[in-house]
């Protein structure tokens, strides 16, 4: 039996290595995307459920929602400033530029939170310099380098997480203060002058204090959406690679038997290429199947096989066939795959993984990045 192979195909060993690499990589990326999609969806639901409803407890970890009240209305309670350096690059179709964070500074001071869940209750919030602020960035000073700033200001709605407890502060439940004032006026015939009263104070616990001006689930919803999109794309790609691209080869290799098929015809044709015409040769062959029917096969061969058939020196060629089905067949004694198909598959897979990584980066806002890098088309604006 002749030992032949299909021109342009990888060796059987290289074929299996490429198939295993592509399928395991796509499968791993698909499982990763599904896992994080489920996790981030769960975190989004937990974030919504974590917000305290009704009066706050006397102590413990809480997530409160309310309106920010600062000691001085024009003075922000929390300020995060980013200093960024701009660079521009000339690319094929014009220019692009990049802003890269050089350093970050956070300033925080106590403020009050008028609770939405329990109108009239005011909680004193005492953040430290490690507070985690979720808010939009605005350009503070144009130029290069430039600075951008996120601020928590008076009147903004915010979610705040931390450990609550009892403490003294100047602002307490408005109803209690009003009741106390009425009682004092009645008893002494003069206006009530109250000092600090025991109230609620929110401080940093074991975890960083979170102060967010957007709904708490949105950070996770954006991430979940990106993971979900690429879980679908990677799942489709995995199915396509498993069944359409490499499936017949895997079935042939796993379940195929080698048969000695009789050549019944041969064909020669050319295609145009950069270096001139490319010559192609195929043979049509047949063998008796297990049930007695004739199985017809076709495969591309090298010129010496074609010439040998024309000279009646080569009349039979080996095929590996599974289930007597031409779909699961390959010329030679081992299954193999066209090298171009393998190269394209690996290239597409790598592009998908890079797009996945880019989509995750785009779904992360500045506060979820250790170092903010912003890219845009065109030259630097200043």
Q: What is the pLDDT of residue 170?
A: 66
User: Of 159, 76, 67, which is closest to residue 122 (Cα–Cα)?
Assistant: 67
Q: What is the pLDDT of residue 172?
A: 59
What does pTM read for this prediction?
A: 0.81
Average pLDDT taken over every residue of the chain: 90
Q: How confident is the model at residue 189 (pLDDT cuts 50, 70, 90)?
A: very low
pLDDT for residue 324 is more than 80: yes
Cα dihedral 180/185/186/190 (nearest 10): 150
Q: What is the pLDDT of residue 191?
A: 42
> In the chain, what are the domain boundaries?
51-215
Q: What is the pLDDT of residues 234-275, one digit of tens each?
A: 999 999 999 999 999 999 999 999 999 999 999 999 998 888
Q: What is the pLDDT of residue 181?
A: 53
Q: What is the pLDDT of residues 94-151, one digit of tens each?
A: 999 999 999 999 999 999 999 999 898 999 999 999 999 999 998 888 889 999 999 9
Q: What is the pLDDT of residues 199-233, one digit of tens each?
A: 899 999 999 999 999 999 999 999 999 999 999 99
Strand partners, 164: 60, 202
Structure tokens at 149: 């700033």
Say which residues have a Cβ less than 8 Å from residue 251's Cβ, sequence separation at least 6: 322, 328
User: Of 85, 157, 136, 75, which is closest to residue 110 (Cα–Cα)?
Assistant: 75
β-pairing verdict for 122-126 and 111-115: antiparallel
- Taking residues 283-287, report their average pLDDT: 96
Do residues 208 and 106 lie in contact, with contact meaning Cβ atoms separated by under 8 Å? no
Structure tokens at 74: 């024009």
């Amino acid at each position: 039996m002749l030992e032949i192979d299909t021109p342009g195909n990888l060796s059987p060993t290289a074929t299996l290595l490429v198939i295993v690499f592509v399928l395991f990589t796509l499968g791993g990326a698909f499982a990763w995307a599904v896992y994080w999609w489920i996790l981030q969806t769960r975190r989004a639901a937990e974030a919504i459920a974590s917000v305290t409803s009704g009066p706050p407890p006397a102590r413990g970890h809480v997530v409160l929602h309310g309106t920010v009240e600062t000691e001085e209305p024009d003075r922000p309670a929390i300020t995060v400033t980013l200093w960024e350096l701009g660079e521009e690059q000339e690319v094929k179709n014009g220019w692009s530029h990049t802003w890269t964070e050089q350093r970050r500074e956070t300033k925080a001071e106590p403020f009050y939170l008028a609770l939405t869940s329990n109108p009239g209750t005011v909680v004193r919030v005492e953040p430290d310099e490690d507070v985690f602020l979720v808010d939009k960035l605005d350009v503070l000073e144009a130029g290069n380098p430039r600075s951008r700033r996120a601020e928590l200001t008076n009147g903004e709605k915010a979610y705040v997480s931390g450990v609550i407890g009892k403490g003294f502060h100047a602002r307490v439940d408005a109803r209690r203060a009003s009741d106390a004032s009425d009682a004092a006026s009645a008893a002494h015939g003069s206006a009530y002058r109250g000092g600090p009263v025991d109230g609620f104070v929110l401080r940093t616990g074991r975890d960083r204090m979170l102060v967010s001006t957007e709904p708490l689930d949105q950070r996770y919803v954006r991430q979940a959406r990106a993971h979900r999109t690429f879980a679908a794309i990677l799942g489709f790609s995995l199915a396509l690679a498993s069944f359409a691209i490499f499936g017949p080869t895997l079935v042939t290799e796993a379940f195929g038997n080698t048969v000695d098929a009789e050549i019944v015809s041969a064909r020669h044709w050319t295609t145009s290429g950069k270096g001139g015409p490319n010559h192609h040769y195929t043979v049509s062959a047949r063998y008796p199947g297990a049930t007695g029917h004739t199985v017809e096969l076709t495969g591309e061969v090298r010129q010496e096989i074609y010439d040998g058939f024309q000279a009646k020196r080569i009349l039979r060629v080996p095929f590996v066939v599974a289930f007597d089905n031409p779909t699961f067949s390959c010329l030679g004694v081992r299954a193999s795959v066209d090298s171009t198909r393998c190269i394209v598959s690996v290239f597409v897979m790598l592009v998908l993984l890079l797009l996945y990584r880019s989509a995750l980066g785009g779904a992360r806002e500045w506060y979820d990045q250790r170092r903010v890098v912003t890219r845009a088309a065109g030259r630097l604006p200043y």
